[in-house]
Amino acid sequence: MADDKEREELVVAEYHRKIKEAFEVFDHEANNTVDVREIGTIIRSLGCCPSEGELHDLIAEVEEEEPTGYIRYEKFLPVMTEVLLERRYRPIPEDTLLRAFEVLDSSKRGFLTREELIKYMTEEGEPFSQEEMEEMLSAAVDPESNSIHYKDYIAMMVVDES
């Protein structure tokens, strides 16, 4: 029992340091605060994949009573530690991602056209902003066919991350 507790304390300590590192990189003024608009990036850089809605809820948890546009480290740390300990917002496995593309590709062609992708990404689910859409297209679209060969695209992105 004592060993388990010790182990958990070590794990928590490591999580704390990891969270601190990620936070500090965005703490431009070195005063233990970050711009609230960067919280999503920080959380995701720690390996979590909340949806936009889930992110919204998280931000509400770490914001000040009267939102200042900044998030303080003291509030962020305990919340983020819990998230990591509970292994919340696990990333999407590669095959789930592939299946999602296949669902959208109803005629099973192996690709999506530019227009199709734009339609789905900007009209369904938690729609992309124009900037997000352009960013995704710039990497995903095969310029010759003007379409997205999603299997290749996924393979490329997965390798890039590893």
Partner 1 sequence: MSTHDLEDMGCGTSSSTKDRKSEKALKAALVIQNWYRGYSARLKARQRYALTIFQSIEYADEQGQLQLSNFFSFMLENYTQIHEKDPELVARLFGRTLQDSKDRQEYVSFVDVPDSYNGPRLQFPLTFTDIDLLVEAFKQQQILHAHYVLEVLFETKRVLKQMPNFTQVKTSPTKEITICDRGKHSMEILMILFVSFLVYPNDLHLNRGNHEDFMMNLRYGFTKEILHKYKLHGKKILQILEDVYTWLPIGTIIDNEILVIHGGISESTDLNLLHRIERHKMKSVLMPPISIDEDQDTDLKKTKTGANVVPREGKTNESPSEQLPKHEWEQVIDILWSDPRGKRGCYPNTSRGGGCYFGPDITSKILNKFQLKMLIRSHECKPEGYEICHDGKVVTVFSASNYYEEGSNRGAYIKLCCDMTPRFFQYQVTRATCLRPLYQRVNTMESSAIRILKERMLSRKTDLIRAFQLQDRSKSGKLSMGQWAFSMENTLGLNLPWRSLSPHLVTTDKNGNINYMSTFQDIHIQKPVKEAQSTLIETLYRYRSDLQIIFNVIDSDHSGLISMEEFRAMWKLFNSHYSIHIEDFQVDELAERMDLNKDGSIDFNEFLKAFYVVHKLEKLNKSDGQSP
**Residues in the site for partner 1, rule: CB under 8 A?**
13-14, 17-18, 21-22, 24-26, 28-31, 33, 40-45, 48-49, 51-53, 91-92, 96-97, 99-101, 103-104, 120-121, 124-128, 132, 135-136, 138-139, 155-157, 159-161
Judge whether 125 and 136 are in contact, CB under 8 Å. no
Nearer to partner 1, 65 or 161 (CB): 161
Nearer to partner 1, 19 or 63 (CB): 19
Minimum distance of partner 1 from residue 129's CB (angstroms): 10
Is the Cα dihedral 16, 22, 23, 25 positive or negative? positive
Minimum distance of partner 1 from residue 120's CB (angstroms): 5
Minimum distance of partner 1 from residue 96's CB (angstroms): 6
b/e for 11-47, b at 16 or more Cβ within 10 A?
A: eeeebeeebbebbeebbeeeebbbebebbeebbeebe
Question: Which pairing describes strands 70-72 and 147-148: parallel, antiparallel, or unpaired?
Answer: unpaired
Nearer to partner 1, 2 or 159 (CB): 159
Judge whether 153 and 140 are in contact, CB under 8 Å. yes
Minimum distance of partner 1 from residue 5's CB (angstroms): 18
